[in-house]
Structure 1
């Protein structure tokens, strides 16, 4: 393997990718971001993007850059289209020209009103907002080229930026402050810890499948169950909370049944995806290590 280029290396997933892949000294990792990386530039600057990829001449490119805020995508739909649609399409085109393998991280925000169903890669999707629309269009552009893998997932993890806490960091802050939380019992996901996803991606580099694959926890749980399990593991007790309904939230319409079937990825790598207990266990290990 020549080099792996990580686009969006300073984000939540990007940081985990650098950590996991860098553990193997035989894998040279190169990072790209707006700041704090080997290559620092605006990904929407096509000249800079082309110069970066051509100068590195990577064997693999992983795109972890995205606008994931639903509200941001609604209010800045043009920017959401540029980052979530045009950027992955351009990266797929450049990778095709250079003959390198491209992994694009997509989303699970495509399914509604079927509770804890585990959705296959081939199941019908529903577009409810600009985030889902721009991510799905990005998938379509990536799929125009060979040697590409589209990963549908739901990740939780640490970003270590106090000004922009992740969902996981927000939960931990609420636990520590004994704040009352609103937990949704009608919003289902199969969330996987970022490090766990990165380990699977590393293993996939050996076989380099193409098309769409779900990488997620083998457990589909609602947000109430996930947060209660997290609080019990980390703090040893339940947080103060009340039950809310995600479908009663005003503002951006949301998909609510995001469970993913992981049988395809399990067949590809030859092992089981982590269940909810294992996801929470690995989150707690890093919680202790980082001294939150």
Structure 2
């Protein structure tokens, strides 16, 4: 079997991806500190990164490493650069020397601020978006698929808890939620995204692609629908504008994506968001 290296394997997506692809590939995992990974090292350090990549000799790399805390990225831009950009730069160095190695890089929908945004409608509002965009630019597209995406699902990670787990537990503990009525997105379920990544590995179509669900919705509607599908009929929440939070770091409000480029290139039909919510809610019931 071919060898698949997952960088950042201990997070929300990585934990599920290891399980999803474990029967198709020889999986090797790298994290900075997780005891459950095959290698513990700082992949932002070029010599260490290239040394371990040459040792593993992967046929495929999936890069999931990311610092996604928007405020932390803004106020600790060095860490944001090292995790979000430098690791990708080191993978790009390896790919230059090993043209047969194909990489799938997980990027972000945080560039978009208009419904049905296509891949060329990039807005850089903060350090998180900047460092993720620089990562994309470091990767040469002859042997890389870049997926701009957002995802949700039940966490099987020892290190990360996702939005759904957090909201589910908050309601279960009878605490009041604050839900944004003016922030829109179109995420995929983790299970669907794992399948998408598998498809990208199989087809090896280089390029930059939006990958999300269809008929996206506000975060308020998304979470209310999710909780209803989980069996919560009555719970307390405040419907608020994101502007009321007075965030110091600017964030986009509408990250819903046009996904036709991916669908046409890969001959892959992406699901509606309501279908994804129902699928994930089934995991919580």
Q: 1:215 to 1:145 in 2, by over 3 A?
A: closer
Q: Return the TM-score normalized by structure 2.
A: 0.93
1:103 aligned partner: 104
- Count how many residue pairs are aligned between Structure 1 and Structure 2: 281
Unaligned runs of 5+ in 2: none
Deviations 1:114-135 (A, max 9, x none): 3xx1111122x21111101111
Aligned 8 A contact 1:228 1:239 in 2: no
* Secondary structure class of the residue paired with 1:103: strand
Equivalences for residues 115-130 of structure 1 within 5 A: 117-123=115-121, 125-130=122-127
CA distance in 1: counterparts of 2:29 and 2:160, whole angstroms: 21
**Counterpart-to-counterpart distance in 2, 1:38 and 1:198:** 20
1:252 is aligned, of 244, 249, 258, to 249
Backbone CA RMSD of aligned residues: 1.7
Aligned-pair CA distance for 1:163: 7.3
1:220 corresponds, among 216, 219, 226, to 216
Cα pair 1:109 1:132 within 8 Å, conserved: yes
Change (3 A) 1:163 1:103: closer
Structure 1 ranges of 4+ moved more than 4 A:
160-164
Q: Does the Cα contact within 8 Å between 1:96 and 1:147 map onto a contact in 2? A: no
Q: Does 1:131 align with 2:128?
A: yes
Deviation of 1:29 after TM superposition, in Å, equals: 1.3
The Cα offsets for residues 63-103 of structure 1, whole Å up to 9 and x where unpaired, read as 00000001110121111011111211221221231120011
How many Å apart are 1:104 and its aligned residue? 0.8
Residue 18 in structure 1 maps to residue 15 in structure 2: no
Against the structure 1 CA distance between its residues 246 and 202, is the aligned structure 2 distance closer, same or farther, given a 3 Å change threshold? same
| Equivalent of residue 207 in structure 2, options 205, 211, 219 | 211
Paired residue for 1:91? 91
2:284 paired with 1:283: no
Number of the residue aligned with 1:81: 81
Q: How far apart, CA to CA, are the structure 2 residues paired with 1:141 and 1:200?
A: 23
